[in-house]
Amino acid sequence: MERQSMAVDIACVGFGPAMAGFLTTLSRRLAAAEKPPLESAASPGLPLQVVCYERADDPGFGVSGVVTRARGLREAFPDLEAAQIPMAAKVRQEKVLYLLDPVGASRRSAALRAADAAIRAARFALKYEEQAVELPYVPAYLHKLDGFVFSMGQLMQWMSGQVLSTGTVQIWPGTPVASALVEGQAVKGVRLVDQGVDRHGNPEGAFLPGMDVTAALTVVGDGPVGAVGRQLDRELGLPQGSHGRRDWAVGMKFVVDLPEGTPLEPGTVLHTLGFPEPEIFGFLYVHPDRVASVGIFVPSWFESPVRTTYRYLQHYVQHPYLWRFLRDAKLRSWGAKSILESGRRGEPVLAGDGFARIGEGSGSTNVLTSSGVDEAFTTGVQLAEGVIELLEAGKPLTRENLDAAYVARRRASFVEAEGRVAEKARDGFQRGVVTGLLGMALAGATGGRISLGEEPAHPAEKVSSLEQFYAGRIPAGDIAAIRRDCEAKGVPLHDALMDRAGWPAVPLDGKLLVTQQDALLVGGKVQAPPGYADHVTFLRPELCRSCGRKVCFEICSAEAIRPGEGGVPTFDREKCVHCGACLWSCTQRLDGTDEVNLAFRAGTGGLHSAEN
């Protein structure tokens, strides 16, 4: 069957906060009756043709626990009120908490153990309750007191509604972009994924080859694990000296109905550290109407090869400080997402002939202030302003012109200034949690002039062996026995190892403590349409067979990747939530490059919850 093609003026990849910023700004200009119309070059006589392709089945199916200062958002929507958007609340109270380990199963360094003992001894002098101590103040760079708590899903749904109602641009959900059409150093548009294929991509039934959509400008905002952004990095190269995307975390969250009579007020924001492992940070945000988001981040510098986010999240919500609020809470939604923590340092080439990069995948996330949505949105606005300027002047969308109109705007903005401060702020974590926290404090206090640690190595290098990670806690012989047993059963190792390390069994209650599959079905409402290829594949089976760590199925947020026969993992497309944690957790680098053996392409399906 012939591949069809279609011409538009601007093709956009991925509808997230950055693209919302781009399309909000652009659509307002296109709808402005008082200004001269911007005409289409692709379809002469028609207004500018702008299309955005989103892989998820709805613009509201994104994931993020969002607390944001919303500086860029409020500039774009000066009348923004929390009441306009479901689940939005003004931030009213913010706390940073250090959680002690009431279980005794986490892996804590000698320094941390000493600190824990000191806290317990001095607890009457501290703001201490329920195995947690409140930090005396929230560092200025972390606070969001003038901001909002949002549900990312609801925020995106609201913004897509605003954009669509102008009638000037189109957002097509359920339509993944397979790749950019690259010619030399230029991008000429995008190719959509094939439909009517089996899981290996072979045509079957009603085959429809992915259409080529040519465009004068391709806007890439497909996020940290997006296929198009990574393709451009690979094919067009990174800025000189850059290693690109090396520092990661996966965030996983529950959205819960809090019990009646909960003391938690809407707009309450808790940041936590210390538990369930010192490397794992957590959060609880309170939305209106007794709803809260609670979740954790598992970073790529956490050495454990069995870093299961779900099991850790179950222990996290049971920490006494949180459990008193969550004991009778009920699961409403669940989701997971990778966060690119390289920040400004992971910035790719921002613009070239016929393309521009915006949002998290373009290195906009601020890793010191833990802020990404507002920055991403702002980069989208900046690109739109630049593009409007070029179109009004009748200038072509070349690298030179985009550099002047977009990149220069970005460089002059808070995104760049604050991103520079944050650039090395987290390097200390490469040496440990305590060094990491000190490094952040130093970078925050000195405007980024002083930092600790070094630039992260490839994430594959951070994963230790099981024996190393559990040294002194589980004898090597026991690890070998657990490995044999799990292999025979065809299950990942994390549950058996965590049980052995002293983590108690999770008392499933059918409310908040549910099986991972129930979290998928009841919380995430995960599903995938038939007729598409697997988007996760393993390139060289022999590398999987010889891999001793297999972090891919340990960290998989949805149990979509499982141990398979002959040592090659299996992938179940219908369970995948596209979090991308497998991508940066694969320890099998290909031929010394930053590429790994696990291929993560654009795919359909995933979460069907709009509350995350």
Partner 1 sequence: MDSILLVSHVDPDGALPRAALEALAAARTLGAPVTAALFGHSVGKAAAALAGTGVAKVLVVEDPALEAARYSTDAAAAAALAKASGASLVLAPATSRMTRVMAGVAQRLGGRIDTHVTQLVDEGGPTAVRWYYRQRIEAKLRRKERPWVLLVDPGATEALKPAGGAAPPVEKVALALPAPRTQVTGVRSPSSGEQTIRPDAKVLFVAGAGWTKKQQDGKPHPEEAEALILAFLRGSGASLGSSKSLVDQAGEGQKVFEFMTHLNQVGQTGSTPRHAKGLATCCHGEEPHVVGWRFIRERRAVNLDASCGWARGKADVLYVADAFAVMTKVNALLAAKK
Partner 2 sequence: MSFHIVVLGSIVPDPLQTLEPVSTPQGPGLKNEQMLPAVLDPWAGHALYEAANLAAKTPGSKVTLVSLGPKAKLQQVMMAVAQKVPFELVALDGPAGGFTDAHEVAARLAAAVKALPGLDRTKLLLFGGWESASRGAGVTLQLVGELLEIPDQFQGVDQISARPDGSFEVLERVEGGRHQVSTCQGAPAVLGWATGNLPEPKNNPQIGMANMRLVMPALQKAAPAPVGTGGVEFASVQVPKVMRETRIVKDASPDEIARELVEWISKD
Summarize as ranges the residues that interact with partner 1 (CB under 8 A): 196, 198, 204-206, 515, 517-518, 521-522, 530-531, 565
Asked whether 309 and 491 are in contact (CB, 8 A), the reply is no
User: Shortest approach of partner 2 to residue 52 CB, angstroms?
Assistant: 10
Among 41, 119, 474, 521, binds partner 2 (CB under 8 A): 521
- Closer CB to partner 1, residue 273 or residue 521? 521
Among 144, 188, 253, 332, binds partner 2 (CB under 8 A): 332
Establish if 37 lies at the interface with partner 2 (CB under 8 A): no
Segment (H or E) for 251: strand 248-257
Closest CA to 185 of 400, 443, 487: 400
539 binds, options partner 2, partner 1, none, Cβ within 5 to 8 A by partner type? none
Interaction residues for partner 2, span 440-499 (CB under 8 A): none
Instruction: State how far the Cα of 362 lies from the Cα of 230, in Å rounded to an integer.
Output: 10
170 binds, options partner 1, partner 2, none, Cβ within 5 to 8 A by partner type? partner 2
- Closer CB to partner 1, residue 204 or residue 235? 204
Instruction: State how far the Cα of 179 lies from the Cα of 232, in Å rounded to an integer.
Output: 9
Q: By CB under 8 A, which span of 54-62, 136-144, 537-545, 554-562 interacts with partner 2?
A: 54-62
User: Shortest approach of partner 2 to residue 317 CB, angstroms?
Assistant: 19
Closest CA to 253 of 278, 227, 285: 285
517 binds, options partner 1, partner 2, none, Cβ within 5 to 8 A by partner type? partner 1
Cβ burial 516-547 (10 Å sphere, 16+ → b, else e): beebbebbbbbebeebbbbbbebeeeebbeeb
Q: Is the peptide bond before 276 cis (omega within 30 degrees of 0)?
A: yes
Asked whether 23 and 222 are in contact (CB, 8 A), the reply is no
Asked whether 499 and 505 are in contact (CB, 8 A), the reply is yes
- Closer CB to partner 2, residue 175 or residue 371? 175
Q: Which tokens sit at 418? A: 């604050």
User: Shortest approach of partner 1 to residue 522 CB, angstroms?
Assistant: 7
Instruction: State how far the Cα of 538 lies from the Cα of 239, in Å rounded to an integer.
Output: 28
Asked whether 284 and 296 are in contact (CB, 8 A), the reply is no
Q: Which tokens sit at 364? A: 């906009």
518 binds, options partner 1, partner 2, none, Cβ within 5 to 8 A by partner type? partner 1
Establish if 288 lies at the interface with partner 2 (CB under 8 A): no
- Closer CB to partner 2, residue 331 or residue 547? 331
Strand 93-99 to strand 268-273: parallel, antiparallel, or no bridges (unpaired)? parallel
User: Shortest approach of partner 1 to residue 521 CB, angstroms?
Assistant: 4
Asked whether 541 and 571 are in contact (CB, 8 A), the reply is no
User: Shortest approach of partner 1 to residue 531 CB, angstroms?
Assistant: 6
Establish if 208 lies at the interface with partner 2 (CB under 8 A): yes
- Closer CB to partner 2, residue 8 or residue 583? 8
Establish if 60 lies at the interface with partner 2 (CB under 8 A): yes
Establish if 437 lies at the interface with partner 2 (CB under 8 A): no
Cα-based distances in Å from 204 to 144, 200, 537, 601, 603? 51, 11, 19, 20, 17
Contacts of 34 (CB under 8 A, 6+ apart): none
Establish if 61 lies at the interface with partner 2 (CB under 8 A): yes
- Closer CB to partner 2, residue 304 or residue 612? 612
Establish if 371 lies at the interface with partner 2 (CB under 8 A): no
DSSP string, 164-205: HHTTSSEEETT--EEEEEEETTEEEEEEEPPEEE-TTS-EEE
39 DSSP 8-state letter: B
Beta bridge partners of 129: 132
Instruction: State how far the Cα of 250 lies from the Cα of 241, in Å rounded to an integer.
Output: 26
Among 59, 346, 348, 459, binds partner 2 (CB under 8 A): 59
- Closer CB to partner 2, residue 475 or residue 490? 490
Establish if 515 lies at the interface with partner 2 (CB under 8 A): no
Q: What are phi and psi of 366, to 5 degrees?
A: -95, 115
Cα-based distances in Å from 558 to 13, 18, 563? 25, 26, 13
- Closer CB to partner 2, residue 169 or residue 547? 169
Establish if 610 lies at the interface with partner 2 (CB under 8 A): yes
Among 12, 152, 192, 415, binds partner 2 (CB under 8 A): 192
Establish if 154 lies at the interface with partner 2 (CB under 8 A): yes
- Closer CB to partner 1, residue 198 or residue 499? 198
Establish if 157 lies at the interface with partner 2 (CB under 8 A): yes
Establish if 559 lies at the interface with partner 2 (CB under 8 A): no
Going residue by residue from 210 to 239, which x/- string records binding to partner 2, judged by CB under 8 A? -x-x--------------------------
Q: By CB under 8 A, which span of 46-54, 96-104, 372-380, 533-541 interacts with partner 2?
A: 46-54
Instruction: State how far the Cα of 279 lies from the Cα of 450, in Å rounded to an integer.
Output: 22
Establish if 49 lies at the interface with partner 2 (CB under 8 A): yes
- Closer CB to partner 1, residue 129 or residue 509? 509
Supply angle C-alpha 288, 147, 344, rounded to 5: 125
568 binds, options partner 2, partner 1, none, Cβ within 5 to 8 A by partner type? none
- Footprint on this chain of partner 2 (rule: CB under 8 A): 4, 6, 8, 49, 51, 53, 57-61, 86-87, 154, 157, 160-161, 164-165, 167, 170-175, 192, 195-196, 205-206, 208, 211, 213, 332, 521-522, 525, 527, 529, 531, 608-611
